[in-house]
Structure 1
Amino acid sequence: MGLLTLVEDRPTPSAVYNWRVYACAAVASFASCMIGYDSAFIGTTLALPSFVSEFGFKHMDKNHLALIKANIVSVYQAGAFFGSLAAYASAYFLGRKRSLWAFVTVFMVGAGIMLVAKDGNLSPILAGRVLAGVGVGGASMIVPIYISEISPPAIRGRLVGIYELGWQLGGLVGFWINYALTQTMGPSRRQWQIPFAVQLIPGGLLMIGALWLKESPRWLYSKGRREEGLKNLCYIRQLDSNDVYIVEEVASIDAAHEQQVSTIGVGFWKPFQAVSKSRTVQWRFFLGGMLFLWQNGSGINAINYYSPTVFKSIGITGTSTSFFTTGLFGVVKTVLTFVWLLFLVDKLGRRKLLMIGAGGGSVCMWIIGGYLLGTHGKRNGETLGSGGIAAVFFFYVWTAFYSPSWNGTPWVINSEMFDSSTRSLGQASAAANNWFWNFIVSRFTPQMFLSMGPSGCGVYFFFASMMLASIVFVYFLIPETKSVPLESMDRLFEIKPVSRANRVVIEEVRLHDEEFRRETVGEKFGAEKEGFRYSERVETA
């Protein structure tokens, strides 16, 4: 099988893998462009000479300055935490499409407020970042679940991966914009306002694009709007309503809905009751949240938000050089995200990527921390030296391990691991966990570099240890979710050991669908293979 060969849960018409489903995912992923841009631009903007001068950073002692920077960065994550929780209610009552439009509107208001800050008054920036955080927090809950609900199982990882790709493209612009400004524009108020204003571009594109998006068919079916749900499903799949594939998918949606009605019931508070009463559901919520603990424990957001501080700790000095090095970091992340999206996430699967990425990344962090510890007090600060060059090299190797593994894979798993009755609440929990751990890291990273070992070496040892621990977590507790239909996730998490769960479920789904076709369509369908794409082999337990 080639790298792009799809392992399908059932015979699938080629029309299903069409431009519409990719376009819906791409438009919705402008939300992640907003998030990625902020994670990249804010750290270097705080280091711009014009920003430092306007808000009096030069006159603050290092501890007070660290606190101010931490507050500017972390209030965004605090707003996002509450936005992701509020998105559960919005997604339930308003649906995916209208909720996305509402949250991007909040983001745009917040981004606009930031632009009026001046003369040392940081209040508009702090207030605007809280509102912008609420907007992106809500979007971070809505978008992955929307994409997973419209995706054919065989390319679900790839489509949810577009969300991560948008994150990296936004970050790429954010990493380079301040380098470009330092090279082309002298220090001025406009110099630091430009990177803040650029936030409005992906937000505006999402506001416009969201008007074109089709509402999730699964959400419409859950609200009893079957005719509209069927119409949207046929539009996204580019198939007629009487096509066997559509008949099977609707039957699967109905079966999942009937199971929900017969077990926990339907209603706003029912998922909360399901979580409170079922330890198996609680366990899945725990797993989803822990994935974001390990993701943030790898050090990625410390690097994203405080890249000048991170590179300075290694020995890179000078605003221009630091910004350029940060820009290269963004390039490496973006390129490898393309590799992850196109070749890895739906081929190697989620488990292998997470374990390989954590293992390789941990080795790199140990090496960087060891270099800082061994050379503390010996570096002259003028030249990087051969050891410093090696440390920078391993930093980029760490990026190469992290980007196609922990960067986007936790979002993919959380978007697909919950059943229909708890999916919205589960994604809200996942997004809230992401922003909570993101807040912890962004709030305390400056203080960590000041207090954890010589030259901040302890920070790198901490991240290395977290990545090692994540391997054990994934190996024993996270089953492989690739190619498993959303309606079969309950069964996936029942099978032990988790290392064989995927193979068992794929085979059970195949046998079930064969029986369904015999009973519903008859022998004629078995002979009509034209227009269908079959996987070349079926993985069996």
Structure 2
Amino acid sequence: MSATIVPSTGISALPPLKSGPHTRRLGVVALIATFGGLLFGYDTGVINGALSPMSAELGLTAFTEGVVTSSLVFAAAIGAMACGRLSDGWGRRKTIILLAVLFFAGTLAVVAAPSFEVLVFGRVLLGLAVGGASSVVPVFLAELAPYEIRGSLAGRNELAIVVGQLAAFVVNAVIGNAFGHIEGVWRIMFAVCALPAVALFVGMLRVPESPRWLVEKGRREEALAVLRTVRSEERAVAELADVEHIAKEELESHQIGWRAIFSNRNLLRILLIGIGLGVAQQLTGINSIMYYGQTVLVESGFDKSGALIANIAPGVIAVVGGLIGLYLMDRLDRRKTFITGLTLTTTCHVLIGVASMALPVGNPIRPFVILFLVVAFVGSMQTFLNIAVWVYLSEVFPLHMRGIGTGVSIFMLWVVNGFLSLYFPSLVQATGITGTFFLFAVVGAMALLFVVTQVPETRGRTLEALEEDVTTGAIYVVNRK
């Protein structure tokens, strides 16, 4: 049975989804792949509580603290772009296996680091792995998922990220308070990361390659064999016909990589939209909270021990928000999700700024009010923005530029993240919580305007239908609702 392409809309008339052993198999594959997201979350979150004892042992200054934190983030920018391109040529599965090795090697380097220089080297290795995971894992999941549940399946990676960050916060709090008197306690915090790295490596050895990538490489029979393990028989055959139809059109039009992007203004526009969306997500300041949450809470009035424990609250709400966001992904349009999220986060920024002005330092309720507002901000971010942005970037680009498109977009995301992580302590020191969050509010309002005027809708359509509409420009006219 073959799929029928409806020319007016580009939507494929595919057989309905059916449950069966293939459903469980798809769930297992997704679970294994999201260990990459778990590692992403743990490695970015562990610095939150490890930084203080690390600085004391290695004699770090405020600037070198920023270097240690941001070295992972800048390396992640390189890893995102390099691995996005690598996965186009080498395959999604093999690239993720390589990332598991990088995660393990980076962990060993950090745990054994005798000096600042070796520590930064280990953080760079971890950053390459984190960036690669951020660009390859969501694409792998999106290409395996049926379009009806693509949002919730691909979104599991972002849920795994916040679970990893929460795990880091909890591990930091337990180890920091129980063994804080031990020199090198931060090394134990980092060592925990080795376990999911091994699990990702072993698990991915048993996971199939992306069927869409296999079709692009002319390996039709392998693609069909993979689809048959994660779909019913008639659905597998129909989806293969869809993918082959688009792949043939690409081949005939000689569409490939950068040449296709710069020769088609619609492709260039979608790339710029992807970049803008990734940058907007980071300029909310979410990762400043995830990296320096303890610093913000100390600035608000908590002592260091209390801040370490209170810092678990944003981690918990991030997971709760992630679960809600995952539920909403296949029920609420992407644009509505983005607009709601940016409205809420910008409001929270304004309220944090106002609270820090209205409640002077020393006021006993000041730290708790600011903690509540930080938790509200993180919850809004995770529920409406983080999962949606990662899913959007994994689905909006045509197959022939998917690795490049996601890689470049996430490269820019990580670059902005890196500058924020490098200069955030200095920004808080110079302007306090008030100035910092008012600045985030201004940027959030600009991001909201960008989404309203530029970002098209993608929910409820096959990747092949989206590809056709993006290439022709129809998505900007018909599907931005």
* TM score, norm. by length of structure 2: 0.93
Instruction: Identify which of 456, 462, 472 aligns with 2:449.
Output: 472
Instruction: Identify which of 369, 379, 387 aligns with 2:361.
Output: 379
Does residue 192 of the first structure (1) align with residue 177 of the second (2)?
no
* Cα deviation, residue 461, structure 1: 0.6
In the TM superposition, 1:333-344 aligns within 5 A as 333-341=318-326, 343-344=327-328
Instruction: Identify which of 68, 74, 88 aligns with 1:72.
Output: 68
Who is 2:6 aligned against? Answer: none
Who is 1:53 aligned against? Answer: 56
In the TM superposition, 1:64-463 aligns within 5 A as 65-118=61-114, 121-237=115-231, 239-240=232-233, 243=234, 245-265=235-255, 270-316=256-302, 318-341=303-326, 343-375=327-359, 378-380=360-362, 384-452=363-431, 455-463=432-440
RMSD, aligned CA: 2.0
* Cα deviation, residue 296, structure 1: 0.8
| Superposed CA offset, 1:345-377 (max 9, x none) | 1101211111111111211111111222344xx
Structure number with greater Rg is: 1
State the distance in 2 between where 1:355 and 1:9 align: 30
State the distance in 2 between where 1:325 and 1:419 align: 43
Aligned residue for 2:400, secondary structure, equals coil
State the distance in 2 between where 1:92 and 1:356 align: 34
State the distance in 2 between where 1:187 and 1:350 align: 48
Does residue 14 of the first structure (1) align with residue 18 of the second (2)?
yes
Who is 2:48 aligned against? Answer: 43
| Superposed CA offset, 1:210-235 (max 9, x none) | 01111111111111111111111111
* Cα deviation, residue 334, structure 1: 0.5
Residue type at the aligned position of 2:429: L
- Give yes or no for contact 1:87–1:142 (8 Å, CA) kept in 2: yes
Aligned residue for 1:291, secondary structure, equals helix
- Give yes or no for contact 2:350–2:441 (8 Å, CA) kept in 1: yes
- Give yes or no for contact 1:260–1:420 (8 Å, CA) kept in 2: no
Who is 2:4 aligned against? Answer: none
List gaps (5 residues or longer) in structure 2.
1-10
List gaps (5 residues or longer) in structure 1.
1-6, 58-64, 504-541
* Cα deviation, residue 190, structure 1: 4.3
Instruction: Identify which of 459, 472, 483 aligns with 2:460.
Output: 483
- Give yes or no for contact 2:109–2:121 (8 Å, CA) kept in 1: yes
State the distance in 1 between where 2:292 and 2:317 align: 17
* Cα deviation, residue 88, structure 1: 3.3
Residue type at the aligned position of 1:379: V
- Give yes or no for contact 2:138–2:157 (8 Å, CA) kept in 1: yes
* Cα deviation, residue 425, structure 1: 1.2
State the distance in 1 between where 2:97 and 2:318 align: 28
| Superposed CA offset, 1:91-148 (max 9, x none) | 1332111111112212211111111223xx2122101111111122122221111111
- Give yes or no for contact 2:298–2:304 (8 Å, CA) kept in 1: no
Identity value in percent = 28
| Superposed CA offset, 1:467-506 (max 9, x none) | 22222211221122111110111454434765x5168xxx
Residue type at the aligned position of 1:456: I
Residue type at the aligned position of 1:321: G
Aligned residue for 1:102, secondary structure, equals helix
| Superposed CA offset, 1:233-287 (max 9, x none) | 11121x23xx2x233212111111111012234xxxx311111212111111111
State the distance in 2 between where 1:348 and 1:36 align: 25
In the TM superposition, 1:27-38 aligns within 5 A as 27-38=32-43
Aligned residue for 1:189, secondary structure, equals coil
| Superposed CA offset, 1:37-67 (max 9, x none) | 122110211123xx3431225xxxxxxx221
State the distance in 1 between where 2:116 and 2:171 align: 22
- Give yes or no for contact 1:264–1:273 (8 Å, CA) kept in 2: no
Residue type at the aligned position of 2:318: K
Who is 1:60 aligned against? Answer: none
Residue type at the aligned position of 1:362: T
Aligned residue for 1:400, secondary structure, equals helix
| Superposed CA offset, 1:280-330 (max 9, x none) | 1111111111111111111101111111111122222x2221011111110
Residue type at the aligned position of 1:169: V
- How many residues in Structure 1 have an aligned counterpart in Structure 2? 468
* Cα deviation, residue 76, structure 1: 0.6
Aligned residue for 1:385, secondary structure, equals coil
